[in-house]
Homo-oligomer: A and B are copies of this chain.
Amino acid sequence: MVTQAKYLTGDKEGIEEFINRFDVFLFDCDGKQVVFVTNNSTKSRADYKQKLTSMGIPATVDEVFGSSYSAAIYISRILRLPANKKTVFVLGEAGIETELDSEKVPHIGGTDPSLARLIEKGDYADIASGTSLDPSVGVVLCGLDYHLNYLKLSLAFHYLRHGAVFLATNLDTTLPSSSTLFPGAGACSAPLVAMLGGKQPTSLGKPSQAMMDAVEGKFRFDRQRACMIGDRLDTDIQFGIEGGLGGTLCVLTGVTRGKQDWEDGKTVPTAWVDKLGDLREGA
């Protein structure tokens, strides 16, 4: 068990030794198999490829693995839904809808403009009696939802009460943006969790191993020869450790500030660098 993280910035030999231990980098590194693993559910893989390209990082759609795609695969290939319960009620953005479409999973809710309104008097009775509920809904899938409102939460809750499977693209409660934090997918599903007395959805994003299984299923690599690189201990690094990967590398360009964050020994990366570019110095 790793209890000390190795500091690699400026350590040429250490970097070389570290890089050579792996065939696959789940996130970012040149010359080896790369998979960009993201919990951001608002963007599809195609959106992400475009974003990476605009940042000067060449990537293909197949190298991107997002939590929306992970959820779509889980629903279409793993979850055994009854034939009359195949529809997904989405609490989230277009990224989820695009990936559900790519797996031919029928869905409602999401960005549907007819739901972008206040709840009205008649809605209560229609939801209570079920007349405004689609009987084919078998899953409620929550991601980050900029269109979150009382009506959508009410509908989602009633689908769950009628037995729908409760899934989330990810459970991050906050979303880093503009150097601060905004509500994340885990904040959007929180009202439902509270209404269900604390019952959590099954998460298809990091650090959930459902996502690791899906990544491995697609890329078929040796976990001992794979390294997870990321900036969050509780999602990225935890994801790699729980998945039994050969290594994890923490970069300090995100929310993790340094050694003090893993001093408690709970989630210790194999190694760490100040910034990803530091790996190039030694490679």
B-binding residues in A (CB < 8 A): 118-119, 124-125, 127-129, 145-150, 153-154, 157-158, 161, 173-174, 177-184, 186-188, 190-195, 197
Contacts and interface: CB of A to CB of B under 8 A. Distances in A.
8 contacts: A118-B146, A124-B177, A128-B180, A146-B150, A157-B181, A157-B182, A174-B195, A184-B195
Contact of A183 (B128, B129, B188, B191): B191
Contacts of A191: 183, 187-188, 190-191
B127 A180 contact: yes
Give the number of copies in the complex: 2
B181 A190 contact: no
Nearest to A191: B187
Contacts of A184: 195
Nearest to A124: B178
Contacts of A146: 118-119, 150
Nearest to A148: B150
A216 to B, nearest CB: 30
Given A147-B118, A148-B150, A150-B145, A186 B194 contact: yes
Contacts of A190: 190-191, 193-194
B183 A195 contact: yes
A162 B61 CA distance: 40
A55 to B, nearest CB: 18
A184 B194 CA distance: 10
Nearest to A173: B194
Given A119-B146, A150-B145, A153-B187, A195 B178 contact: no
Given A119-B146, A149-B148, A177-B124, A187 B194 contact: yes
